[in-house]
Amino acid sequence: MRNVWIICRKELGSYFASPIAYLLLTMFGLIFGFFFWNALGYFVLMGMESQMRGQAFPMNLNEEVIRPLLSNASVIGLFFIPMITMRLFAEEKRSGTIELLTTSPIRDVEIIIGKWLAALTLYACMLLFTALNFAFLFKYGNPDWKPLAIGYLGLLLQAGGLLAIGTFISTLTKNQIIAGAATFGVCLLLWVLEWVSGYETATWAQVLAYMSVITHFESFSKGVLDTKDAVFYLTVIFLGLFLTARSMESLRWRS
């Protein structure tokens, strides 16, 4: 456990010593802020319209603002995750520092979990920035906080799974760009798989749609903690980290 913490601290140090962390925080914050602004603008317009017509629409901040925003955040996340994970192992392999880690008296799994935790922490920091937007919502509105908390939990779980996959892909190459591009491709694929359910109801389409990370975010965005979806994300996390461990082992036999 101590070793996991040592690796995690070192990785976080690397993120924040380079511009990458600040760039990601800024971009994510900006884009999310823009979405927030849009959602709020739309919400205000709806409110005015309903007043003008003299009929009371059921207006709910959770339904009209928070839910679409969480869904958007989950998709924006897909674009940022490759940038977080691409350097994790590729960089160490390129510079040879992987030799330091693997000849130190720590286990592979401690290295892997440490790095993954650091990536997840950086993503959590990015989410923390978005919480600023919601803070305004709570100051001037009266939304329910529980669905929001569950939504954030869902975002973290989803990111955890994709980060684990990204970590795995990073062990496969010495080239950060390749690792990043491949991770981006996989993230994108795991997003669009859901689309097949729009026109096809056969079993294969259901299976494909089930594999999409977006499908499972649906319940979280509604503020519902569905065990089935949580288990899906945990499975992806486990699978990603497991593959990383296997890949590191095979790296030794091959290199």
Partner 1 sequence: MITVKELTKRYARTTAVDHITFEVQKGQIVGFLGPNGAGKTTTMRMLTCFLPPTSGAATVAGFDVLEQPLEVKKLIGYLPETPPLYPEMETAEYLTFVGKLKGLSGAELRKRVDSVCERCAIADVKTKLLGKLSKGYRQRVGLAQAIIHNPDVLILDEPTAGLDPKQINETRDLIKGLAGNHTIILSTHILPEVEQTCEQVIIINKGKVVATDSVQNLRNRARGAESMLVEVGGRNGSLDAGAVQRRLEQVAGVSRVVVKQSRDNRDTFEIESRKGFIRGDLARAVVEAGWDLNELRPAAMSLEEVFLQLTKAEEPSPEQVEVAVKGAE
Residues that bind partner 1 (CB under 8 A): 3, 6, 10, 13-14, 17-18, 95-107, 252-253, 255
**Which one, 14 or 175, has the nearer CB to partner 1?**
14
**Which one, 139 or 252, has the nearer CB to partner 1?**
252
- Burial pattern 70-91, b for ≥16 Cβ within 10 A else e, equals bbbbbebbbebbbbbbbbbbbb
**Which one, 24 or 155, has the nearer CB to partner 1?**
24
Rounded least distance, CB 75 to partner 1, Å: 31
> Among the residues of the chain, which ranges form H helices?
2-17, 19-53, 61, 67-85, 90-95, 98-102, 108-140, 145-170, 176-192, 203-211, 217-222, 227-254
**Which one, 51 or 250, has the nearer CB to partner 1?**
250
Rounded least distance, CB 15 to partner 1, Å: 9
Overall residue count recorded for the chain in this entry = 255
Rounded least distance, CB 98 to partner 1, Å: 8
Rounded least distance, CB 184 to partner 1, Å: 24
The closest alpha carbon to 37, from 61, 69, 62, 59, belongs to: 69
**Which one, 60 or 95, has the nearer CB to partner 1?**
95
Rounded least distance, CB 100 to partner 1, Å: 4
- Asked whether the beta carbons of 188 and 78 are under 8 A apart, the reply is yes
